[in-house]
Amino acid sequence: MTLKLRALTEEQKKQFDAEGYLVVKGLFAEEDLAVIDRTFEEIGNRVVPGHFEPDLSADGVDPLKRYPRVMHPHRFDETAKRYMLHRPVMDVLADLYGEEALAAQSMFYYKPPGSRGQALHQDNFYLKVEPGNCIAAWTAVDPADEENGGLLVVPRTNDYDIVCPDLADSKESFTTHYVKPPKEEKAMPVVMDRGDVLFFNGNLIHGSYRNKTKDRFRRAFICHYANESATRISSFYRPLFRADGTEIDLELNEDGGPCGVEFETLYPH
């Protein structure tokens, strides 16, 4: 059943369908952002095995050793779970999918000054949501731009096939995969204010810049979702959650994707 739009305009929905991404301004209120600030400031000063394993005595040569990303904070922190299921986000996702969304993953990036970026890639290469696709909700906790490591997207690659990635430049990217965009499309920056949310399709080619500043973090709370009618997903993202917080499990997607089974055991992005 197709739902009537409740959070977006027809123009916003058309832009997402055509371009593969959409920025919704101010979707997180300042009081919510203040809670997120406090939560991840506290998490950032401890070790959570399997989720956040910083080197608290790092020498600063690689800032990401001290501040790696937090993987799946919703699995150990109720505040992270609550904001993964933030009602305004879930309402936008329902409009984009035309059905309810299921929450599959949460992450938090601190991205301190000097941090490497992330090479261009496609999210559904990792999540392998079928049938349908994943959608990311990328929330700017700090203002994000080209200088402090904001996102870049390759518009209109949402209909581009999932492809086997090449090897990324390790001097610029903290991840190993790189997807070359088609010749006719160029990567463009997405400049965001604190509280804005960027939604993008799982096939859209995207990445992030290096943080070139000396004094600005680029914190972001990032979650991935599947459509309610999906039946399969990669094992790393199970179980999923409905908007009311109840668990739901999809079948394990054992498809190795365009690269074959050797990619199945790689740590997801």
Residue whose tokens read 């997801």: 268
Looking only at Cα atoms, what is the longest distance across the chain?
Answer: 55
Contact 136/20 with Cβ under 8 angstroms? no
Write out pLDDT tens, residues 122-161: 999 999 999 999 999 999 999 999 999 999 999 999 999 9
Q: Residue 134: beta bridge partners?
A: 226
3-state secondary structure of 37: helix
Q: Quote the pLDDT of residue 256.
A: 78
* Bond prior to 49 in cis (omega within 30° of 0): no
pLDDT above 50 for 261: yes
Q: Mutual orientation of helices 87-97 and 10-19 as an angle, nearest 10°?
A: 70
**What is the rounded average pLDDT for all residues in the chain?**
94
Query: Domain 10-47+63-260: which topology?
Result: Jelly Rolls (2.60.120)
Least-confidence region, from 66-70, 148-152, 176-180, 255-259: 255-259
Beta strands in the chain (DSSP E): 21-24, 70-71, 101-109, 118-121, 134-140, 151-153, 166-167, 177-178, 188-190, 197-201, 206-208, 220-227, 232-233, 240-241, 247-248, 251-252
**Per-residue pLDDT at 264 exceeds 60:** no
Q: How far apart are CA 201 and CA 224, in angstroms?
A: 10
Kindly report the backbone phi and psi dihedral angles of residue 247, in degrees, each rounded to the nearest multiple of 5, phi listed first.
-80, 150
pLDDT above 60 (res 269): no
pLDDT > 60? residue 265: no
Q: How confident is the model at residue 255 (pLDDT cuts 50, 70, 90)?
A: confident
Would you say 216 and 142 are in contact if contact means Cβ atoms under 8 Å apart? yes
Report pLDDT digits (tens) over 14-49: 999 999 999 999 999 999 999 999 999 999 999 999
Residue 212 CB coordination number (10 Å): 14
> Which is it for strands 251-252 and 232-233: parallel, antiparallel or unpaired?
parallel
Q: Tell me how far apart the alpha carbons of residues 161 and 177 are, in angstroms, rounded to a whole number.
A: 16
